[in-house]
Amino acid sequence: MDDHLRTSLRRRGFLPAEDPDSRLTLGERFEIIDQIGHDLPSLLLEPEFRSYMRGQILPHWPHPNIPPKLLSQAHLYYLRLGFIASGYINQIGQPVTHSLPANIARPLYLIAELLERPPMLSYDGYALYNWKRYDREKAIELGNIDTIQNFVHLYDEHWFILVHVEIEAHAARIMDAIMALEDSAGFDDGDAVDNSLQQISAALDNILQVLRRIPDKMSDELYFSRFRPYIGQFRDVTYESMGLTVNFRGETGAQSSMMPTLVEFMKIPHQANRLIIHLNDMRHYMPHEHVAWLDAVRAMPDVRSVASREHFNHVLEQMAVFREVHYHWAIKYIARRCNDQQGTGGTPYLKWLKYLIDETRQHQVAG
């Protein structure tokens, strides 16, 4: 892992090293993508949206690679196209379609290939790259951030995304604590391990505070009916002119690298079942550098035998509580409104969240 990535993870967690671009500056012909992105919440209200989109000329990424100075532009280009594609396939109130037109499919596929990711809107595009600060001198936190792109005009969707962004900002302290321990070669030092665990615990306190704020400005009815459908799966979707038919999981918080980092660091032995297969599949939707980080954490020594029982168990309990709050929101926002027990990522989420909660607590050190 290079020094630039390590520095970024310690400072910003899984958020980009610099604030995301909010406007494409690749040339005049790319203005149409920003314009469609800006208008998308209104366009999706129109029955003619799909016909309109078929008539648009969307420019391809203008380089054979991604020059480092254009990485933020590449992320914005990908997320705009990802939103357009998901809006096209999942448009609310319109007949089911299994065909993505070539003028959307091809540029999306090509930029996704350069970014080494599936050509589908995932958590990185929906949340990690999808924010801007009002005041760059102030923290990345609710009240100082807004989204760049949305499916609907409702602030509820902004809030849903921005809660995840602030959580990811706090998670940087988790990465910093783990790297500080690694840099000091302190895995055999009980005091160093406990200090790291205390820093992780402090970050998790803030993360839980933010996660509990979901209902402050997000209606369960509006979430379920007005914007959750847009982050659904692609099932048997043909990318026209590409000779490609895909099945992709929808955007989901399970594609965040935050909790997997803690699972790897705490060496929680989740049982090998369909859940673990699913969670491992989520890594295909993460930025490749985040997967490299998870691999690095997996290779770190186990601190369980060195850590104090109090600090080790407290982090595990906070992880379990995080999943319990998530479980509660899954019931409130989804389960009470439908019989479909699958999440946007295609999981039987209630059953599997319960497994994760139980197995996390079972890993605690007995008194």
Beta-ladder partners of 244: 239
* Mean pLDDT of the chain, nearest integer: 94
Cβ atoms 16, 172 nearer than 8 A: no
Q: What is the pLDDT of residue 280?
A: 83
Nearest alpha-carbon partner for 299 in 273, 261, 256: 261
Three-class SS state of 175: helix
Let me know how many helices (H) and strands (E) the chain has, helices first.
14, 5
Quote the CA–CA distance of 256 and 234 in Å, as a whole number: 19
Which of these, 193, 175, 209, lies nearest to 308 by C-alpha position?
A: 193
Supply 233's token pair. Answer: 């799966």
237 DSSP assignment: E
Torsion of CA 78, 84, 88, 94, to 10 degrees: 150
pLDDT 10s digits, 77-87? 999 999 999 99
pLDDT per residue of the chain (367 residues) written in tens, 0 to 9? 788 899 999 999 999 999 999 999 999 999 999 999 999 999 999 999 999 999 999 999 999 999 999 999 999 999 999 999 999 999 999 999 999 999 999 999 999 999 999 999 999 999 999 999 999 999 999 999 999 999 999 999 999 999 999 999 999 999 999 999 999 999 999 999 999 999 999 999 999 999 999 999 999 999 999 999 999 999 999 999 999 999 999 999 989 999 999 999 999 998 776 677 777 889 999 999 999 999 999 999 999 999 999 999 999 999 999 999 999 998 899 888 876 555 544 556 677 788 889 999 999 999 8
**Could you tell me how far CA 298 lies from the centroid of its own chain?**
20
Q: Are 274 and 355 in contact (CB under 8 A)?
A: no
d(CA 352, CA 298): 22
Q: What is the rounded distance in angstroms from the CA atom of residue 221 to the CA atom of residue 46? A: 21
274-281 vs 349-362: helix axis angle to the nearest 10?
100
Alpha helices by DSSP H, listed for 216-273, are 220-222, 258-266
Tokens of 34: 């920003």
Instruction: Give all strands (DSSP E) within 240-331, no chain letters.
Output: 244-248
The token duo for 332 is 């409130």
Helical axes 31-43 vs 71-89, angle rounded to 10°: 30
Write down all domains in the chain, each with its CATH number in brackets: 3-362 (1.20.58.480)
Strand pairing of 132-133 and 244-248? unpaired
Strand partners, 99: 238
Q: Which amino acid, one-letter code, is at 60? A: H
What is the Cα–Cα distance from 197 to 206, expressed in whole angstroms? 15
Helices 190-211 and 309-333: angle between axes, nearest 10 degrees: 20
φ/ψ bin of 348: left (φ > 0), alpha (ψ from -120 to 50), beta (otherwise): beta
C-alpha neighbours within 13 Å on the C-beta side of residue 230: 25
Token readout for 298 is 């997996």
